[in-house]
Structure 1
Amino acid sequence: MASERILPSLSSSSPCIESTDGMMGLGEHLSTELTKLDEAIWDTMVDIRTGTLAWMQDNGSSSDIHRVTHSIISYTKVLWANYRSLNRILDGAYLRGKFKPDNQSVSHLTNLIMEMVRSTEDQLARKSQSWFPDESLWFLFLINNAYFMLQQLQTIWCLAGFPMPILTRRIDDYINGYLSVSWVPVLRCLRDPATPCCFARTSSPLTKLESTFHKTCATQKLWKVPDPDMRKRMRKAIAEKVIPVFTQFLEDNSVSTPGFTPKKLEEMLGELFEG
C-alpha cells in the first residue's frame, strides 16, 4: 500500500510528535486513511477499465486501430509506470476478495494487464463483426488491432513474463481466417471453373482468375494496414497462398505465354493495404 512507503518515515521526520502514544495514534489514523485511498484508487482502476470498454462503437468500417485499443494501451502504460504502488494496491484488493488473478505465477498487476488485453480483444472481435459487411475487412481490423497491442506492449510482456505465444497465435489465426475468406475464392476459379464467384461458365479459368484477382486487389488497395512490417507480412502471406497454385496451374496446362503472369500478380499484391 501507499502507507508502506509513508509510515516508516513518520517517526524519523516528525519532531513535533513527542508522545509515543500520540505517534502510534496518528500512525493508525494515517494507515486507515491511506488504506481508504488505496481502495479508492482500486475502484477508480475498475471504473476506468470497464468504462473504456464501454466506448466500443462502430469504427466506421475502417480497418484502422480502434480508439478503445489506443485507450487501453495508454492506460496499461500508465499502470506499468507505477508498478510498485499499484501492485501493492492490487495485493490489497486480492486480500479483500475484490481481485481474482488467473495466473498465480506472475504479479497481480501483470494479471490485470493480461485480463485487460484479453477482454479488449475478445470484445472487439465480438462487437466488430457487425460493423463490417465484408468479412475480409473484419479480419484485417482484428489483425491490425491485435498486432498494435502486441507491438506497443512488447517491452512489458518481456518484463512481466506474459505468454507471448498466445498473442502471436491469435494473430496467426486472424491471418489464416483472412486468407480463407478473401483469397481461397479467387483460387477456386482455377480449381472449379463453374463456381458462381468466377462469372460465366464460358470464360476460361485464367480469364476468371484474372478478373476476380483484379477486382479483389482494386478493393483491398484501399484498405489500411498501418504497420509496415505487418503490411509486408500480409502481402507475403497472400503471395505464398496464391502464386504457387497459379504457377502450378500454368505448368499443368502447358500455358507458356500467359497474359497474366505470376510476376504481374506479385506486383499487384505489392500495392495492397496502403489505405
Structure 2
Amino acid sequence: MIVAVSGMDSLGERAAKMREALQKSQTITDNVVTILGSFDSRLSVLETAMRPTQIRTHAIRKAHENIDKTLKAAEVILTQFDASRQAEAKILKGPHEDLESYLEAINQLRSNIRFFSGNKGFKSSDAVINNANTLLAKAISKLEDEFKQLLALYSKPVETDRLFECLPESMRPSSESPGNPFGGKNNHHEHQNGTSETGGFKHLTLIPPRILPLLHDLALQMVQAGNQQQLLRIYRDTRSSVLEESLRKLGVEKLSKEDVQRMQWEVLEAKIGNWIHFMRIAVKILFVGERRVCDQIFEGFDTLLDQCFAECTTSSVSMLLSFGDAIARSKRSPEKLFVLLDMYEIMRELHSEVEGVFGGKACNEIRESMFGLTKRLAQTAQETFGDFEEAVEKDATKTAVLDGTVHPLTSYVINYVKFLFDYQTTLKQLFQEFESSGETNSQLANVTMRIMQALQTNLDGKSKQYRDPALTHLFLMNNIHYMVRSVRRSEAKDLLGDDWVQRHRRVVQQHANQYKRTGWSKILQCLSTQGLTSSGGGGSAVPGEGGSGSGASRGLIKDRFKTFNVQFEELHQKQSQWTVPDTELRESLRLAVAEVLLPAYRSFIKRFGPLVESGKNPQKYIRYTAEDLERMLGEFFEGKTLNEPRR
C-alpha cells in the first residue's frame, strides 16, 4: 500500500514538471513569433530603401548592353565604309591592270548596296546607296569597254589553212591550186565516203581557252547589272563580222539568181562544187566552234546564249545560203540535176548538225532557212527529172548518124541514167520529201522506165529520117541493144528487172530480123529459080531438075549473075560504111546474113554455073566465089566511110 502511494506521488511530480515545461515552451514560441514579426517589418523597410539602388543598377547594365550593340553596329558600318573605299579605289584604277580584283570590287559594291538598303535607319543610308550606285554604273561601263576590247583583241578571221586542217584527211584539198583549192568538183563517191568520217573533224579554237573564263566573268557582271542588250550588241557586232570575213577568205560569195544566170556552165559547176565543201566546213567546223565559244561565255544564261549565237551567225548563214537558193531558183536544165542532187545531199548530211548547233527558239529562223533550202533543192531536182524526160522525148537535134550507129542522145541518156544510180540513197531521200508511201525503189524504177521510154519514142522518130528501111532497123537495133547492154551492166538491172531486159532483147532481135529481111530479100531473089525455067527452045538451055526437058535460058542466068553482082557490090559499098559498134552484135549479124546468102549462092552456082562457064567470058558473070562473098561480108558494118552524100 505504501509502495502504491509513493508511485502515485512520483507520477504527479512528473506531470507537474511537464506542465511547467510546456508553459515555458509556449512563452518561447510567443517570443520567437514576436521577434520574426519585427523582422518582416524591418525587411519591408529595407526593401523599400534598396529599390532605387536596384533600378539604377539595371539601368546601368542596360546602358552597357546598348553601348556594346552600338559599338558593334558602328564597327559593321565602318567595315562597310572601309570596304566601300577599297572597292572605289580599285574601280577608279580600272579593270585593265587586275581584272580579278576589279570584279571583286564590283561584288563588294553590290554587297554594300544590299547592306545599306537593309539598314535604312542609318541616317546616311540613302546618300551611301546613291554614291555606291553611281560608282557601280561607272564600273559596269568600264566593264563593257573591257569586254569589248578583250573580245575584239582575240577575235580574228580564221585563216583558210586552219579550217582545212580541221577536215578529215580524205577531205582536205590539194595545195596545187590555191585559188581553187577543191578543184571546183564535188566527187560524189568521196562525198558518200566522207559522211561516215564525221568523227574525223577536229575542233577549231576561235578564242584562246584562257580568255574564255575572263569573258564569262565580265558577261556575268553585265547580266547582273541588267545590261544584257549591250552585251548582245557587243558580241554580235564583233563576232558577226569575224565569221563573215572568215567565210570570204574561204571563198564564199553572196550571189543572186541573176548572177548565177549570167555564168558559163563550167564556171557555175566549179562554184557549186566549192560551195558544197564550204557548207560542210562552215557548219561542221566554223559554226560548231562559235557555238562552243557562246556556250562558255554565256554559261548559265541559256536564252541570252541562243540569242547571241543566232544574231552573230545570221548574216554568215544568209551569205552561204544565198548561192544555194540562187541555184535552186535559177532556170532548170538537165545538166544541173546532178549538182542539184549533190547540193541536196550535203544539206541532208548537215541536217543533224544544224539541229544540234542551231538549237533553241532564237535559232528557229536559221534552222527554217536551212531546211527550206533543202526542200527547194529537192523540189527543183524533182522538176528537173520531169523536164529531162520531156526533153528526151522531144529532142529534135538534127545530128545526123549516117552510119546507123548509136546516136549521141542514146549514149547521153544512158550515161545520165547510170549516173543517177550513183545517187540511189539521195534519190530515195528526195522522193520521201514529197511521198509518204515510202515506196522509193518503185518510184526510182518508174522514173527510169519513163526516161527509157521517152528515149525509145525519140529514137523511133529519128529512125524515120533514113530512106533505106534496112538502115532504119539497123539504127534501132544498135541503139536499143546499147540500152539493154548498159542496163545489164549497171545497177539499173536490179531496179528495172529481168523482164525489162528480156523484153528489149527481143526488140533488138526483131530489128535484126527486119534488117535482114528488108536489106537482103531483093538480092536473094536473084538466087531463086523462080522465072528461070522455060517451055520453048529460045536458045541454049541447061536441063531442068528431074530431067523434065524444060531448062533455064543462058541469057536469063547471065542476067541474074549480073544483077546479083551489081546488087552485092552496092550493098558492100553501102553497108561497109554502116556501123554496128558492138563486136558481138556485129559478128552475129554478119553470120545471120551469111547463113542465108552463102548457101543460096552456092546452090545457085552449083545448079546454074556450068551453063555460064561453058560460054564466053564466064568470069564476067561469075565474079565471086562463096569464099569471096564471106570475106567481103566480114567488111560490113565497119563504118569505113563516115561521110556519104546520100543515104
- Calculate the TM-score normalised by the size of structure 2: 0.36
Alignment of 1:81-96 (within 5 A): 81-93=422-434
Indicate the SS of the match to 2:476: helix
Whether contact under 8 Å (1:64, 1:144) holds in the other structure is: yes
Matched, 1:140 2:140: no
Q: CA deviation at 1:124?
A: 0.9
Match of 1:222 in 2: 577
Q: CA deviation at 1:160?
A: 2.2
Q: Which residue of 1 aligns with 2:406?
A: 65
Alignment of 1:169 onto 2:524: no
Alignment of structure 1 residues 153-232 onto 2, 5 Å? 153-154=487-488, 155-162=490-497, 163-191=500-528, 203-232=558-587
Deviation at 1:183, TM superposition (A): 0.6
- Listed as ranges, the gaps of 5+ residues in structure 2 are 1-343, 533-554, 614-621, 640-647
Partner of 2:638, secondary structure, is: coil
The alpha carbon displacement at 1:48 in A equals 2.6
> In structure 1, what residue type is equivalent to 2:447?
L
Name which of 585, 591, 604 aligns with 1:236: 591
Q: Residue 79 of structure 1: SS of its match in structure 2?
A: helix
Match of 1:118 among 443, 453, 457: 453
**2-structure distance, mates of 1:93, 1:207:** 69
Helix, strand or coil: the match of 1:190?
Answer: coil
1:99-118 matches, within 5 Å, as 107-118=442-453
Other structure's SS at 2:527 match: helix
Letter in 2 for 1:242: L
Match of 1:38 among 357, 361, 378: 378
2:636 corresponding residue in structure 1 = 272
Cα deviation code 1:46-105 (max 9, x no counterpart): 223322443333342511322211221222122111111113323555569xxxxxxx89
Identity of aligned residues (%): 22
CA 1:202–1:265 in structure 2 vs 1: closer, same or farther (change >3 Å)?
Answer: closer
Mapped contact 1:56–1:124 kept (Cα < 8 A): no
The letter of the residue matching 1:223 is W
**1:118-165 C-alpha deviation (Å, 9 max, x unpaired):** 220122112330x21111112221122122222233223433243211
Contact 1:235 1:272 in 2 (8 A): yes
Report the count of equivalent residues. 258
Distance in 1 between residues matched to 2:470 and 2:562, nearest whole Å: 23
CA distance in 2, matches of 1:248, 1:94: 66
Aligned to 2:144: none
Per mean C-alpha deviation after superposition, the further-off stretch among 145-154 and 24-33 is: 24-33
Residue 25 to residue 105, structure 1, CA distance change in 2 (3 Å): closer
Structure 1 unaligned blocks of 5 or more: 97-103
Letter in 2 for 1:75: Y
1:202-259 CA-partner distances (Å, limit 9, x unpaired): 73434432332222112111112222222212211211222233334445x2747865
Matches of 2:365 and 2:399, distance apart in 1:
55
What TM-score do you get using the length of structure 1 for normalisation? 0.78
Residue number in structure 2 paired with 1:99:
none
Partner of 2:389: 49
The answer (yes or no) to whether the contact 1:53–1:68 under 8 Å persists in 2 is no
Larger relative contact order (Cα-Cα within 8 Å, sequence gap ≥ 6): 1
